[in-house]
Amino acid sequence: MDDKATLITGISAVTMYTADMARAAHFYAALGFKSVYGSTDGPFMSFSGGSGFINLIAGTPPADHWGRVIIYVSDVDAMCARARTAGFSTATNPRDAEWGERYFHILDPDGNELSFACPLKP
């Protein structure tokens, strides 16, 4: 087994657009997802389900389509270096976010966004 693959520890979240945040929030809450961030009158909400999350962004997706998968890794900087060593350009540099994660973004060949992240240590 390639020990570089052990950087990946799990999928944290999938992010999708919604045309109606209140309607979408009702749908996910009715299915048992718990609202953990944002509000129905805001631009973003996050719902927990087990150890993962569904994130919603209010609005219409770009014409060329858009989706994001958030993948947890053991070391964000090492994963970014691995991607760059493989010859891929990253959409962002690794950074610490106000919601408590370190992350960077990269686009797959079809334009879907992968966000590699790990929780910041307290």
Q: What is the pTM of this model?
A: 0.67
Say if residues 95 and 77 touch (Cβ distance below 8 Å). no
Tally Cβ neighbours within 10 Å of residue 80. 22
Note the pLDDT of residue 3: 54
Q: What is the mean pLDDT of the chain?
A: 86
Strand partners, 52: 49
Note the pLDDT of residue 1: 38
pLDDT, tens digit, 9 for 90 and up, residues 22-69:
989 998 898 788 999 999 999 999 999 888 898 999 988 777 666 788
pLDDT over 70, % of the chain: 91
- For the ranges 7-11, 27-31, 90-94, the one whose mean pLDDT is highest: 90-94
From the number of C-beta atoms within 10 Å of its C-beta (0-12, 13-18, 19+), residue 118 rates as: buried
Domains and CATH numbers, the chain: 13-119 (3.10.180.10)
pLDDT reading at 117 higher than 60: yes
Sequence-distant (6+) residues with CB within 8 A of 79 are 7, 8, 73, 104, 116
Task: Kindly state the average pLDDT of the residues 107-112.
Answer: 72
pLDDT band at 120; cut points 50, 70, 90: very high
Question: HSE on the CB side for 113, CA within 13 Å?
Answer: 19
